[in-house]
C-alpha cells in the first residue's frame, strides 16, 4: 500500500530503507541480548538514556506505562504513542523522499489531524480526572486507549513539524504538502496501527526497539523545534542547498535538545528524587 500511496517511493526506497533496516536489526539484536538477562535489562545504557529523554517530558507514572519484562518503558502509554508517532512520520516522509516538501496538508486533512488531537485531549482530561476521586469522569481509562490517542496526536505533530523544518531549512523547497490527501494519511494511519499492535503484543524485544524509537521521537521534536527557531531568530532560514549546509543548524538544534533534556531531568530529579512518577500521584 505504501508504494502506491507515496509517489516516488520505489526509486528512493532501497538505500534509505536499507540503512534504516540495519539500524532496526541492530536494535533487535541488542534487544534480544538485553531482555534475556534481568541485570542487563536493569543497567542497559540505551534504555537508561531513553529514560532520561522520557523523564524530561513525561510524568512516567508506573501504572500508566507499559513495561519490558518488568522494566518500565521510557515514556508513559500516551507519550509512547505520541513520540512513536512522530518518529514513524519522520521516517516515512524521509524514506518517501519528501525532505524538501514544505507545505502543510490540505484543509480537509488538517481537520482530521485536529480531530485526532482532540481525541487525545478528551481522553487525557478524562484520565486526569481519576486523580480526584470526587471529580466526574466519563469512562475508565485504559493504557491501550492512551496509546492509541497518543499515536494519533503524534502523527499530527509529525505531519506539522516535518514541513515546518523543511521550510526553515531548505532554499530549494518543493511547495507541496508533506501529506497530500486522505489516501496518504490512511497509509500512515495503517502503519501507526501496526505500531500500536506491536506495542500491545507485549513482546520484550519488540518493546525494547519501540521504547528506544519513542525516546528518539522526543529528541526529534526538540531538535526540529530548536533548529527551526534558531534559523528564524538568526534570519538564516531557507538558505541550505545541501546536507553539508543543513547539518550545522540541525547539529546545534540537537545539542540544544540534549541540553534541555539534561537540565529538565536534573531539576526534576533534584526536586522529586525519583525517575518514576510524581510525588503524591
Q: Could you tell me which of 57, 93, 44 has the C-alpha nearest to residue 209? A: 44
* Beta-strand runs (E) in the chain: 67-68, 71-72, 101-103, 174-177
Query: Would you state the pLDDT for residue 7?
Result: 47
Q: Do you know the residue count of the chain?
A: 281
What is the tally of structural domains in the chain? Answer: 1
Q: Please report whether residue 280 resides in a domain.
A: no
For residue 118, give its domain range. 2-272
Q: Please report whether residue 277 resides in a domain.
A: no
How is residue 275 written as a grid cell? 525517575
Tell which wins on pLDDT, 11 or 145. 145
How is residue 186 written as a grid cell? 490512511
Q: Please report whether residue 281 resides in a domain.
A: no
Please name every residue paired with 68 in a beta bridge, in sequence order, or none if there are none.
71
Q: Please report whether residue 279 resides in a domain.
A: no
Specify the pTM: 0.88
Q: Tell me the torsion sign for CA atoms 68, 61, 191, 166.
A: negative
Q: Please report whether residue 88 resides in a domain.
A: yes
The string of pLDDT tens digits covering residues 167-176 is 999 999 999 9
Query: Would you state the pLDDT for residue 230?
Result: 93
Taking the C-alpha atoms of residue 160 and residue 185, their distance in angstroms, rounded to an integer, is 13
What value does the mean pLDDT of the chain take?
A: 88
* Residue indicated by cell numbers 518514576: 276
Q: Could you tell me which of 106, 202, 218 has the C-alpha nearest to residue 154? A: 218
Q: Please report whether residue 68 resides in a domain.
A: yes
Amino acid at each position: 500500500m505504501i508504494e502506491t500511496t507515496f509517489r516516488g517511493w520505489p526509486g528512493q526506497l532501497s538505500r534509505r530503507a536499507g540503512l534504516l533496516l540495519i539500524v532496526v536489526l541492530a536494535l533487535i539484536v541488542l534487544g534480544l541480548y538485553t531482555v534475556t538477562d534481568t541485570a542487563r535489562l536493569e543497567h542497559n545504557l540505551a534504555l537508561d538514556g531513553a529514560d532520561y529523554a522520557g523523564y524530561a517530558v513525561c510524568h512516567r507514572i508506573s501504572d500508566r506505562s507499559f513495561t519490558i519484562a518488568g522494566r518500565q518503558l521510557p515514556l508513559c502509554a500516551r507519550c509512547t504513542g505520541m513520540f512513536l508517532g512522530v518518529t514513524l512520520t519522520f521516517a516515512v516522509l524521509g524514506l518517501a523522499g519528501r525532505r524538501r516538501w514544505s507545505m502543510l496538508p490540505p484543509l480537509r486533512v488538517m481537520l482530521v489531524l485536529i480531530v485526532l488531537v482532540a481525541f487525545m485531549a478528551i481522553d487525557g482530561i478524562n484520565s486526569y480526572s481519576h486523580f480526584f476521586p470526587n471529580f466526574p469522569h466519563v469512562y475508565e481509562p485504559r493504557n491501550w486507549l492512551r496509546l492509541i490517542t497518543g499515536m494519533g496526536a503524534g502523527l499530527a505533530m509529525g505531519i506539522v513539524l516535518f514541513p515546518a523544518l523543511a521550510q526553515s531549512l531548505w532554499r530549494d523547497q518543493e511547495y507541496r504538502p508533506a501529506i497530500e490527501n486522505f489516501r496518504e494519511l490512511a497509509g500512515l494511519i495503517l502503519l501507526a496501527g501496526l505500531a500500536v499492535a506491536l506495542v500491545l503484543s507485549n513482546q520484550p524485544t519488540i518493546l525494547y526497539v519501540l521504547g528506544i524509537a519513542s525516546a528518539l521521537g522526543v529528541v526529534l521534536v526538540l531538535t526540529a523545534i530548536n533548529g527551526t527557531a534558531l534559523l528564524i531568530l538568526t534570519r538564516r532560514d531557507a538558505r541550505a542547498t545541501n546536507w553539508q549546509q543543513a547539518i550545522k543548524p540541525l547539529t546545534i538544534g540537537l545539542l540544544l535538545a540534549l541540553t534541555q533534556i539534561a537540565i529538565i531531568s536534573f531539576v526534576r530529579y533534584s526536586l522529586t528524587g525519583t525517575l518514576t512518577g510524581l510525588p503524591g500521584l
